[in-house]
Structure 1
């Protein structure tokens, strides 16, 4: 599998030279400075590609876009989206023109992902991302004060939430709001409580069936262009895979994924297989899902989580946690072999080590939450070891 690394662009304190040192060859990035809904011009794409690939000694290429974001109006089905869709299609063409042909995207409303702690302390030092169900419930019920929020949580979680909120300082509340707002997409916009209430109000009346149809409409509009220019679209699962803040989630399990792939059957309509997102649900059998959807997996995020019965979870070591990482990697390597044996030109599946823990010298550095250098380097090394062992045992190409 192609070993890739998420890079946040020229302002990332983890440089392209650092990426070369850890052994990755593919770069996963986006034009984060361009607001959602605006055009990614050919010149802007070319400039980013040159930044990544001009120093040939590093051996890097722009492998995957993560992500080309979808405007909230398209998710809402609000008004006439023709201009937004035209812009999206032209951005796709401009990427393909410069040889960037895998696009990871998501259809999560309002929040791309949700955590309640961005730096939860670990034994012996270091930090990790964490989702505490009671803290999220406290935010939803007592800070946001969303109507009907209490029916979304069980009695134990609500009791714990009430206790947390009664003891919380103003700093605790600001920290929690900041952690939840860190999951917002786009050019790092943030909402205050009132702004978030206003955004949620726009989704009143949008249930999972309406949101599903809005996604299907989007796919019907853009997949023909993807086929025309050789783009592979790869939807990212919901993180976590459950409704949040009264918002529906529609890419959380095997049934959801099957609906999305069947909505517009095409080799260009595919999946980003994220073991951390899907693995935050006890109901998801990750190796079975990887085998079932293997032909449509265009990109993989490999990370692990340790789950709790109340819905809480914490980012674990890549080979720790609850998810069968070896089984998933075996399924992906098997699919690679099938593609190579079938004569497919782009048979390698790009993957990246996702959401490393803050370890050693990375503690306290201003990296993006979940994206320190050393924790991800550890994860990449561990997954590389699994790949090498499976390849030796089964004859898989890597």
Structure 2
């Protein structure tokens, strides 16, 4: 795996100098300051390349911009309303500008209204650190009592609705506002966030869009951009829903293995692929991450490796972001499946045999706790996660004791 690191630009508290010290080979970034739907210009793209390639003292960092995350798909495209055709045209132009600059991989998502969603951005864990958490009861309190979405209570069990009411009554006005800000925070690094009025307006515009109709809109988008990506030598990879279940009465259509199979088969192209995020998909107990890696391996273009710990085996339930080797996903089994896929690609002669990976999210520990970085993206917590993942990778790649040994033993039987 090619080890990369997400960077939000010059305002990121983790500097390019820091990234070189943690041992990453490449950088995952985006032009977060460019409004959604607007063309990414060659000048702005070149500027980001230069920022990544340069240390504070002006010397070369040795880092390259390997993956774009994300080139946003606008709400107009998802709804097929407003300026959606213009936005698709602009998306294609941005893709060309990125390809011309040397970029080969673009990550994006197709989540309606809310992107990644958490109810607590700094939840304290037993060791004194903090992490992000999604609590279904707090989300219900937001949906039913703060957003006041019509019919929201019927989307939750009676037990969750009752607990949500109890929690809402116990919240101060400031706590209610903070919960609303947490839920509507938007894409990491983005300068765009939504008010409650914005959220409700989007919900009204989505109206009665069904799961099937949203799938149609997604396929329509892919039918437009995937042929362009293929011509440009780009790999598009869709990030899963986070969390991977319906929210706000709207369908989420990239939450399960079946969801990915449908989309990858609907527009079958080497350019149409998957961002396998073990944290997002791992929040559902019915997602088999090592199995998904094995079955979708040729179409996995990007990897987010992180772990979550679920409170229950409910499909739509609460979870928190655990240590990279400490959650409900068997990370060793997943990494073994990834390394096997890379070996298969290399033997096949694929130029993209090495899959870019980044240590996704991390718990705030040590000096992270006072830095107030982008939620989920502390320097030390992610560095710890990368070190743990690197240890597993090194052990599994060991010529004598790793996968090669077990493969030799199997073939000799």
**TM-score, length-normalised on structure 1?**
0.97
Whether the 8 Å CA contact 1:276–1:302 is kept in 2: the answer is yes
Measured in 1, the distance between the counterparts of 2:357 and 2:276 equals 9
Secondary structure (helix, strand or coil) at the match of 1:364 reads helix
Deviations 1:166-198 (A, max 9, x none): 111101101101111113578432333222211
Cα displacement (A) at 1:79: 4.4
Task: Find the counterpart in structure 1 of residue 122 from structure 2.
Answer: 119
Residue 36 of structure 2 is aligned to residue 53 of structure 1: no
Residue 167 of structure 2 is aligned to residue 164 of structure 1: yes
Task: Find the counterpart in structure 2 of residue 377 from structure 1.
Answer: 383
Task: Find the counterpart in structure 1 of residue 18 from structure 2.
Answer: 18
Q: 1:243 aligns with which of 228, 240, 246?
A: 246
Q: 2:342 aligns with which of 322, 336, 343?
A: 336
Whether the 8 Å CA contact 1:6–1:29 is kept in 2: the answer is yes
Deviations 1:244-301 (A, max 9, x none): 0111100000100001101110000000000000000011111111111010000000
Measured in 2, the distance between the counterparts of 1:30 and 1:291 equals 29
Cα displacement (A) at 1:145: 1.2
Q: 1:194 to 1:57 in 2, by over 3 A?
A: closer
Residue 34 of structure 2 is aligned to residue 34 of structure 1: yes
Residue 94 of structure 2 is aligned to residue 85 of structure 1: no
Measured in 1, the distance between the counterparts of 2:106 and 2:195 equals 30
Q: State the superposition RMSD in angstroms.
A: 1.4
**TM-score, length-normalised on structure 2?**
0.93
Structure 2: gaps spanning 5 or more residues = 406-413
Whether the 8 Å CA contact 1:103–1:233 is kept in 2: the answer is yes
Task: Find the counterpart in structure 2 of residue 43 from structure 1.
Answer: 43
Task: Find the counterpart in structure 1 of residue 371 from structure 2.
Answer: 365
Cα displacement (A) at 1:80: 6.0
Task: Find the counterpart in structure 2 of residue 391 from structure 1.
Answer: 397
Q: 1:161 to 1:210 in 2, by over 3 A?
A: same
Task: Find the counterpart in structure 1 of residue 142 from structure 2.
Answer: 139
Q: 1:312 aligns with which of 296, 313, 318?
A: 318
Structure 1: gaps spanning 5 or more residues = none
For structure 1, which segment, 235-244 or 178-187, has the greater mean C-alpha deviation from structure 2 after superposition?
178-187
Deviations 1:22-78 (A, max 9, x none): 010110000000000101011111111111124574321101000000111110011
Measured in 2, the distance between the counterparts of 1:89 and 1:23 equals 33
Secondary structure (helix, strand or coil) at the match of 1:314 reads strand
Measured in 2, the distance between the counterparts of 1:4 and 1:186 equals 17
Q: 1:102 to 1:13 in 2, by over 3 A?
A: same
Task: Find the counterpart in structure 2 of residue 347 from structure 1.
Answer: 353
Measured in 2, the distance between the counterparts of 1:216 and 1:193 equals 29
Measured in 2, the distance between the counterparts of 1:30 and 1:213 equals 27
Q: How many residues align?
A: 396
- 1:61-80 alignment runs, 5 A limit: 61-79=64-82
Task: Find the counterpart in structure 2 of residue 256 from structure 1.
Answer: 259
